[in-house]
Structure 1
């Protein structure tokens, strides 16, 4: 399987997604559309992973619109797609749903609660990394997958092929450190009330990597 990853900023990498790809024997190609303007071809994509970034789906960059066309083309072919944060917002925006400011900015560690048992072996509550201040709407026909106390729409699954998460299961410890040391100023104003030191001192839950594997296995069945 060829996995095409869209990485939108240098400090938000694929983390455990690479571990999953290596253990499953898949090839990974990473694209940086914001830097080079290059996107993968539909015919060369078996799984599309769309990572986070500091931009908004509402921004007026040509590559953002082109990325959404890629998403729709892959959906038409029933290809699996996983989106995290900006990536999840891009999926919903491609389907015609608005992306807007969240009631509260969430940056740091906070629990997420499972809302659907459609995917096996996912615990009812997990501790995830949040790094966002925008939110998506759940597309028609999709199942609400995760929520938090402050924001209902934290994750969805659609047609056994598409998963979008507003938060992050993919970061490993090195990824968290990279996010914090480079983007520490973004932490200010978060409702979670955590400092950069608080975020760094929190160990990445081992369960997150296992659940990341379970989500990818589910959409690639």
Structure 2
């Protein structure tokens, strides 16, 4: 399948909880004149796009695990496999990255530390040009992915090594979040702030809200999507 890189694309977003939306990804889509369609398979009986109508797939985070025995979670992985077979690019955040990794044959396991809050991540590969060596990202997880065969480790944190991977020009998965902007962070925290309890980062919901969203996170999110969709 020939990609529509450089042309108007249909971006299909899989959103898995009401308070974790596309954030800066939506801004990138609008800046490029693309069309975004947001699906909520956890709520609407597993409704998903078809591979044929997908030019870029975004798989967002959520409270579920790829290891959960739910039909729609398995159907998501079938879609991911179909898109990989068709050379269609995709980006996954947190649970979304875990779904991609699992399709690529890597395990999803309990992380060595529960990370909830703001913490630095460190660049481990220069395959994507001009990314900063260190960034501060929002973490909201206690599981992690293995690095799939054929993928490169992209980011690590102080507590969890496997924080990001890049699989050719086909897929990028991040265990943390670059996509939330200020309003998104507030939405995440006011609804799910209790999840910060027992985090190894030792940040309260108030601490997380008080921290400004780093301006470079939007820029890096744009760089990652540009890399996936470059001609």
Partner of 1:113: 122
Q: Does residue 110 of structure 2 align to residue 101 of structure 1?
A: yes
Structure 1 consecutive aligned stretches of length 4 or more whose deviation exceeds 3 Å: none
Show CA shifts across 1:129-167 (max 9, x none).
000000100001101100011111000001112000000
Name stretches of at least 5 consecutive residues in structure 1 with no aligned partner.
none
For 2:77 and 2:199, how far apart are their aligned partners in 1? 29
1:183 maps to which residue?
192
Once residues 120 and 206 of structure 1 are traced to their aligned partners in structure 2, the CA distance between those partners, rounded to angstroms, is 19
For 1:208 and 1:93, how far apart are their aligned partners in 2? 26
| Cα separation, 2, equivalents of 1:55 and 1:210 | 28
Residue by residue over 1:79-114, the C-alpha shift from the partner in whole angstroms, topping out at 9 and shown as x without a partner, is: 100000000000011122211111110000000000
Tell me the CA shift for residue 60 of structure 1: 0.9
Query: Match for residue 100 of structure 2?
Result: 91
User: In structure 2, what is the equivalent of residue 27 of structure 1?
Assistant: 35
1:18 aligns with 2:26: yes
The equivalent of 2:216 in structure 1 is 207
Report if the CA contact (8 A) 2:105-2:149 is conserved: no
Alignment TM-score, normalising by the size of structure 2: 0.95
Q: Secondary structure at the match of 1:35?
A: coil
Give how far 1:214 is off: 0.2
May I ask how many residue pairs the two structures share in their alignment?
Answer: 221
| Residue segments in structure 2 that go unaligned for 5+ positions in a row | 1-8
- RMSD over aligned Cα, in angstroms? 0.6
Match of 2:155 among 126, 146, 149: 146
Give the alignment's TM-score, normalised by structure 1: 0.99
